[in-house]
Amino acid sequence: MGLILLAGAVIGEAQTAARHATGSSLAAEVRLRARAERLHRRSIVIDTHNDITTPIADEGFDMGALDQTGKYQTDIPRMKAGGLGAEFFSIYVSSKYAREGGSARRAMEMIDGVYEQVRRHPRAMEMAFTVADIRRLHRQGRIAALMGIEGGHAIEDSLAALRLFHRLGVRYMTLTHTNTNNWADAAGGISVTAEKRHNGLSEFGREVVREMNRLGMMVDISHVSDETFEDVIATTQSPVIASHSSARALTNVPRNLTDDMLRAVAKNGGVVMVNFYNSFINTEYARPDMPRPTKGVDTATLDMLMAHFEHIIRVAGIDHVGIGSDFDGVDGQLPAGMEDVSKLPTITYELLKRGYSEADVRKVLGENLLRVMARNEAVARRLRAGGAKPSAVRIAGRVVDQATTTLSLSSPAIIGR
């Protein structure tokens, strides 16, 4: 009987200790979540890639009310709930416009849609054009609306069009989409074979990069081929961004960046914005030791997403990673816990849980992107102060430099590159 009583006492003490441990763990989690929420609300949270502009343009979607259909991931109530400070609306121009014509018109329609949303909801959003604008709007409690063109064919091979898009507020351009255009090779996609036409950037493509530097428009290397990436890094004077790409070492798809590319972005001073799309973050579906997949996947986990953040931090450094969700551009194929823009505070919580300091978390949430954008602004000011004028280069006919020297684009020296 004594042994039975002793065993019962031991079991009881163990159960009590377990309850205390569980209670302490739950209390610690509650405290951590509260800390994450406070930090998230104080920080400027920036997402560099959101495709809600397509339903705005094509379906008349209005962001003012909470979407009840379950179809969309983005609206103003959920942006507010997610603590979003600045959104780069994607001016996505499908490759069909490169084939059929009307790329610039399509981009203009989408830009007009962003301006219309801001007009309808001025208390919630305002157009932003500079880092100073973003910081001012954050202090005011409003969302900064910015834009990035996705697909360089949108400029229709015209640097004048590029300049006009910049005047309208476009602050980055993804040089290609899945399609190779007339001046830059693309990476292709999971089910899209890459077309190698230029071995990277053509000479006109380099001039596009130089003109973007002069304007202060960030060069986006998401979607480009590895060779195009190398040419961009060799050409640009400003830090680049990958507006929505993850780590190829974890998920072996051409849209993600290799470790060498991550290190090159870090050396350049740029930033890689992690994509949330299941097919780009599932670490079982496309491991580097597996054949490159031919179709996407519809599942991934939050831990897989965070593994991409942590891998990029380890390889490139904490100063070179951010958020590029791809909300409303991936048919809802997002990890559980990151279903829509209201879930962004989860990123803050998960980073704190993994031991990152509040200062480092703020960098990931938005300060890294703000630093890169500010540097692009500074380089543009320096170039213009040094006498850089709008480029007169044409993709066909003649290339005219600022000294009016001419060089035919049919020159073997240019075509060979």
Of 318, 311, 315, the C-alpha closest to 363 is: 318
The answer as to whether 16 is a domain residue is no
Residue type, 296: G
Residue 333 token pair: 């194929």
Half-sphere exposure for 160 (CA within 13 Å, toward CB): 3
The answer to whether 338 touches 305, Cβ cutoff 8 Å, is: yes
Residue-level pLDDT at 11: 53
Residue 332, C-beta contacts closer than 8 angstroms, at least 6 positions apart: 73, 339
Dump pLDDT digits (tens) for 345-397: 999 999 999 999 999 999 999 999 999 999 999 999 999 999 999 999 999 64
Has residue 185 been placed in a domain?
Answer: yes
Residue type, 360: D
E strand residue ranges, 298-397: 321-323
Query: Averaged over 76-105, what is the pLDDT?
Result: 97
Q: Over 70: is that where the pLDDT of 398 sits?
A: no
Residue 395 forms part of a structural domain? no
Domain annotation covers residue 179? yes
pTM for the predicted model, two decimal places: 0.90
**pLDDT 10s digits, 181-191:** 999 999 998 88
CB 333 within 8 A of CB 296: yes
Paired with 59 in beta bridges are none
Is 10 a residue whose pLDDT tops 70? no
- Residue 416: inside a domain: no
Q: Which pLDDT value is given to residue 190?
A: 87
Is residue 305 classed as helix, strand or coil in its secondary structure? helix
In this prediction, residues 217-225 reach a mean pLDDT of: 98
Amino acid at 294: T
User: What is the extent of the structural domain holding 319?
Assistant: 41-389
Q: Has residue 8 been placed in a domain?
A: no
Residues identified as active-site: 49, 51, 150, 177, 223, 244, 326
How deeply is 278 buried, as exposed, middle or buried, from its count of CB atoms within 10 A (0-12, 13-18, 19+)?
buried
Q: DSSP string spanning 181-224? A: -SSB-B---SSSPPP-SSSSB-HHHHHHHHHHHHHTPEEE-TTB
Block residue for tokens 């980073």: 351
pLDDT digits (tens, 9 = 90+) for 294-308: 889 999 999 999 999
For residue 35, being part of any structural domain is answered with no
Task: Write out the H or E segment, with its range, that includes residue 262.
Answer: helix 259-268
Q: What is the CATH number of the domain that holds 104?
A: 3.20.20.140
Which segment of 156-165, 203-212, 283-292, 295-304 scores lowest on mean pLDDT?
A: 283-292
- pLDDT > 70? residue 51: yes
Instruction: From residue 319, give the alpha-carbon distance in Å to each of 45, 362, 364.
Output: 15, 10, 7
The residues, ordered by sequence, that sit 6+ positions from 397 with a Cβ below 8 Å of its Cβ are 408, 409
Q: What are the beta bridge partners of residue 150?
A: 92, 174
CA-wise closest residue to 280 among 266, 298, 259: 298
The verdict on residue 166 lying in a domain is yes
- Indicate the number of domains in the chain: 1
Q: What distance in Å separates the CA atoms of residue 223 and residue 41, rounded to the nearest whole number?
A: 32
- The whole-number average pLDDT for the span 59-73 is 97
CB burial readout 101-115, b (16+ within 10 A) else e: eebbebbbbbbebbe
Beta bridge pairs of residue 84: 45
- 19 vs 281, residue with greater confidence: 281
In sequence order, what DSSP letters do the residues of 108-170 get, joined into one string?
HHHHHHHHHHHHH-TTTEEE--SHHHHHHHHHHT-EEEEEEEE-GGGGTT-HHHHHHHHHHTE
Handedness of CA 14, 18, 20, 21 (dihedral sign): positive
Averaged confidence pLDDT in the chain: 91
Which of 1-5, 112-116, 270-274 bottoms out in mean pLDDT, i.e. has the lowest?
A: 1-5
In DSSP terms, which residues pair with 53 in a beta bridge?
none
The 10s digit of each residue's pLDDT in 186-215 is: 999 888 888 999 999 999 999 999 999 999
Judge whether residue 30 has pLDDT over 60.
yes
Query: What's the rounded Cα separation, in Å, for the pair 213 and 378?
Result: 10
